Amino acid sequence: MIRQANLNDSAAMAQIYNPFILDTCITFEVDPVDAAEMTRRMGDVAAASLPWLVVEQDGKMAGYCYAHPWMERAAYQHTVESTIYLAPEFQRRGLGRQLYRALLAELKKRPVHAVISIIALPNPASVGLHESLGFEKVAHFREVGRKFEGWIDVGYWQLMMEEWS
């Protein structure tokens, strides 16, 4: 079941996100987050009138996704950045695609022109998900992040909302 996130979801979202922080280069954060921090982030997304969704399976939160303003300057107001995280045991089941499609459907109701996804590379699963939804790679930055004693590349994928259905 896909639904709007609420403040009661903060702890479960932190539990999903923290292993990505501690064990992977998928996120460039290095310190775990708690429920209070997730609540603060949800407030920022809500203040921007953007969606934050969760997907549940078998009564358990399987993952979440949201959109937030891409840049602060006023001329960027119609561009958002999207983020998605699924707990490992729920990956490769099609839930990510369903959740992302629901996010894009919500964005279609808003004055959003472009969606940007920033992907730490390599990440073939995320690249595959985004490209299956119509995102196109528009930039590649070499060695812009450093985590676990290694340099990390980042790619930007973009979806123009008028091209998505």
pLDDT in tens, 120-130: 999 999 999 99
pLDDT for res 146? 98
CATH number for region 2-163: 3.40.630.30
**pLDDT top residue among 59 and 29:** 29
pLDDT for res 15? 98
Instruction: Report pTM.
Output: 0.94
Q: At 152, list the tokens.
A: 């990390």
pLDDT for res 163? 85
Contact 66, 103 (CB under 8 A): yes
End-to-end alpha-carbon separation of the chain, Å?
21
Query: What is the average pLDDT across 33-51?
Result: 97
Strands 114-121 and 79-86: what pairing?
A: parallel
Of all residues in the chain, the percent with pLDDT exceeding 90 is: 93
pLDDT for res 156? 99
Q: At 20, list the tokens.
A: 């990505």
Give residue for tokens 């939160």.
61
Is there a cis peptide before residue 122, judged by omega within 30 degrees of 0?
A: yes
**pLDDT top residue among 70 and 91:** 70
Is residue 164 predicted with pLDDT exceeding 80?
no
Residue 67's region, left for phi above 0, alpha for psi from -120 to 50, else beta, is: beta
Determine the Cα–Cα distance for residues 56 and 47; give it in Å rounded to an integer. Answer: 24
Is residue 51 predicted with pLDDT exceeding 80?
yes
Confidence of residue 58 (pLDDT cuts 50, 70, 90): confident
Is residue 70 predicted with pLDDT exceeding 80?
yes
Determine the Cα–Cα distance for residues 24 and 88; give it in Å rounded to an integer. Answer: 12
Is residue 93 predicted with pLDDT exceeding 90?
no
Determine the Cα–Cα distance for residues 3 and 113; give it in Å rounded to an integer. Answer: 23
The beta-carbon contacts of 121-128 under 8 Å, at least 24 apart in sequence, are 121/152, 121/153, 121/154, 121/155, 122/153, 123/26, 125/91, 125/92, 126/26, 127/155, 127/157
Is residue 64 predicted with pLDDT exceeding 80?
yes
Query: What is the average pLDDT across 38-65?
Result: 96
